Amino acid sequence: GNSVTQMEGPVTLSEEAFLTINCTYTATGYPSLFWYVQYPGEGLQLLLKATKADDKGSNKGFEATYRKETTSFHLEKGSVQVSDSAVYFCALTAWMDSSYKLIFGSGTRLLVRP
C-alpha cells in the first residue's frame, strides 16, 4: 500500500548544527512529495515539495530531493536555528480508493537548543 515512514524523534540539536530528518515512502505510481512544518499549537505550513524524481524542493534554507531509486525524501538544513524547533511531517499524494489522498508520516519533533 501507500505509506510514509519518518525517523522517530525527538531530534535535539544545538544551534547552527546540520539537520537531517529521514523520510522514506511506499507508493504506486508517481506521487508528489511534501514536507510540512507544525509549530506548537498551530496548523501545518507547507515547507517544500517535489513533484517528480530528482526534483529538489527548497525553502527557508531547508532542502529535500525526490529520490525514486531509494524511495526517499530526506529533509536537510545546513545550520538550524532555535526558531526551527517544531514538528516536521513528510507526506505524499497517492491514488487510493478511487481518489487521491494525502498520506502523512507520524511526524518528527525537532528541538534546537541555543
Partner 1 sequence: DGGITQSPKYLFRKEGQNVTLSCEQNLNHDAMYWYRQDPGQGLRLIYYSQIVNDFQKGDIAEGYSVSREKKESFPLTVTSAQKNPTAFYLCASSPRGVADTQYFGPGTRLTVL
Q: In what order do the strands lie in the sheet with 56-59?
A: 19-21, 75-77, 62-65, 56-59
What residue ranges bind partner 1 (CB under 8 A)? 4, 32, 34, 36, 41-46, 49, 89, 93, 99-102, 104-107
For residues 17 and 22, which CB has a smaller minimum distance to partner 1 in the complex?
A: 22
Report phi then psi at 83, rounded to 5: -70, -10
Rounded alpha-carbon distances, angstroms, from residue 39 to 31, 33, 85: 26, 20, 7
Report d(CA 88, CA 111) in Å as an integer. 11
Kindly state the smallest distance separating residue 101's Cβ from partner 1, in Å.
Answer: 6
Closest distance of CB 50 from partner 1, Å: 11
Query: What's the min distance (Å) between Cβ of 6 and partner 1?
Result: 9
Nearer to partner 1, 10 or 78 (CB): 10
